[in-house]
Amino acid sequence: MLDMDDLDLSLLRCFATLYREQHLSRAAQRIGLSQPAMSRSLGRLRDVFGDPLFVRTSHGMLPTPRADALAPSVIELLAAAAALVQPTAFDPARLERTFVLGTSDYSDADLMPALVDILAREAPGVVVATRPLGDHIGETLATGRFDLIISVREAVPGDATVVKLYDEGFVCAVRESHPRVGKRLTLERFCELSHLLIAPSGNPGSRVDNALAARGLTRHVAVRTHTFLSAPAIIAASDLVLTAPTRLFEPLAKAYGLRLLPTPLELGHFSIVAAWHPRLHEDRAHAWFRTKIVEASKRRSVRARR
């Protein structure tokens, strides 16, 4: 039997932070404890729940099944406790909170400059930490590991709350002095050339390959990179072709000596959205932060059109 006298909110806060961070030192730093104090709290948690809860591995402190089962209830309980003492008036200038965003480097480069400027003026006590999205977006939102994600609409779990930031299209990029590409890129030449594919997951296949397959065509992908921001440098130093988001590459073309061309086949558009778990929808600080994400996106859109 659990002894409730041995359980308090500070212990539950240690549990939730360690569950999010999966790293003892990082969790201790985030919560404002020394590493020995965090270790002692973990020991008390293990005694109370009769389970190891977190197991040290080469990949960090991984939760046990018991910890996974406890996490949603613990996080909801902490949120409810925080709501009890939340002041009636919300002042962003006095807010001290860390928001963890799940993003790609594309979203980082696109939105963070404007967001950092907004927060510096309106909420200097707010800290933003961005992390890779990974493969389990629904879980990271449900457990509170991410406060919010920025991603393509198709990748967002069905139970998440969503706001669209913008629609995006595609452009082809080659180096300015590419020997086989003139003022336009035909579909035939597109298929003849070798390509660079931005594949955040590292896997082959893309919207381009699907559109080609629908026409009975293929292309040769010579290089797959998991990051958007290495792509312009690779294109500038090679004869590869890249099909990539217009919004990201238009401001980079001049700096890298790239020529941007319309895609030779219809690829449509995709939506970039911000998404969060419904349990955070009424949180005033989170709601305010979401408006700043939207504001940063609109500011970036205006700058991109100039």
For 111-162, the pLDDT digits (tens) are 999 999 999 999 999 999 999 887 778 888 888 889 999 998 888 888 899 9
Q: What integer best gives the mean pLDDT of the chain?
A: 90
pLDDT above 90: residue 180: yes
pLDDT above 50: residue 206: yes
Share of the chain above pLDDT 90, in %: 64
**Domain spans, the chain:** 4-84, 92-167+271-305, 170-268
Instruction: Give me Rg for the CA atoms of the chain.
Output: 23
Please identify, in words, the CATH class of the domain defined by 170-268. Answer: alpha beta
CA 75 to chain centre: 21
pLDDT band at 107 (very low <50, low <70, confident <90, very high): confident
- Within 10 angstroms of residue 156's Cβ, the number of other Cβ atoms is 21
CA angle 294, 158, 290 (to 5 degrees): 20
Model pLDDT, residue 14: 94
Model pLDDT, residue 106: 84
> Lowest-confidence range among 39-43, 59-63, 96-100, 233-237?
59-63
Share of the chain above pLDDT 70, in %: 95
The string over 19-54, giving b where at least 16 C-beta atoms fall within 10 Å of a residue's C-beta and e elsewhere, is bbbbbbebbbebbebeeeebeebbebbeebbeeebb
Sign, CA torsion 251/252/254/255: positive
pTM, to two decimals: 0.71
Contacts of 254 (CB under 8 A, 6+ apart): none
Q: What is the Cα–Cα distance from 282 to 172, expressed in whole angstroms?
A: 42
> Lowest-confidence range among 24-28, 203-207, 263-267?
203-207
pLDDT band at 282 (very low <50, low <70, confident <90, very high): confident
Model pLDDT, residue 295: 95
Asked if domains 92-167+271-305 and 170-268 share a fold, the reply is yes
The string over 161-198, giving b where at least 16 C-beta atoms fall within 10 Å of a residue's C-beta and e elsewhere, is bbeebbebebbbbbbeebeebeeebeeeebbebebbbb
List the strands of the sheet with 194-198, edge to edge: 220-225, 194-198, 241-245, 170-175, 258-261
Quick one: fold of 4-84?
Arc Repressor Mutant, subunit A (1.10.10)
Model pLDDT, residue 240: 98
Q: Which two tokens stand for residue 253?
A: 């073309």
For 28-75, the pLDDT digits (tens) are 998 889 999 999 999 999 999 999 999 999 888 999 999 999 998 898
Model pLDDT, residue 12: 93
Residue 7 vs residue 264, higher pLDDT: 264
To the nearest 10°, report the CA torsion of 222, 214, 105, 225.
Answer: -10
Model pLDDT, residue 83: 76
pLDDT above 70: residue 306: no
For domain 92-167+271-305, the CATH superfamily is Periplasmic binding protein-like II (3.40.190.10)
Residue count (the chain): 306
Q: What is the Cα–Cα distance from 185 to 76, expressed in whole angstroms?
A: 54
> In this structure, what are the phi and psi dihedrals at residue 57, rounded to the nearest 5 degrees?
-135, 180
For 79-91, the pLDDT digits (tens) are 888 877 766 678 9
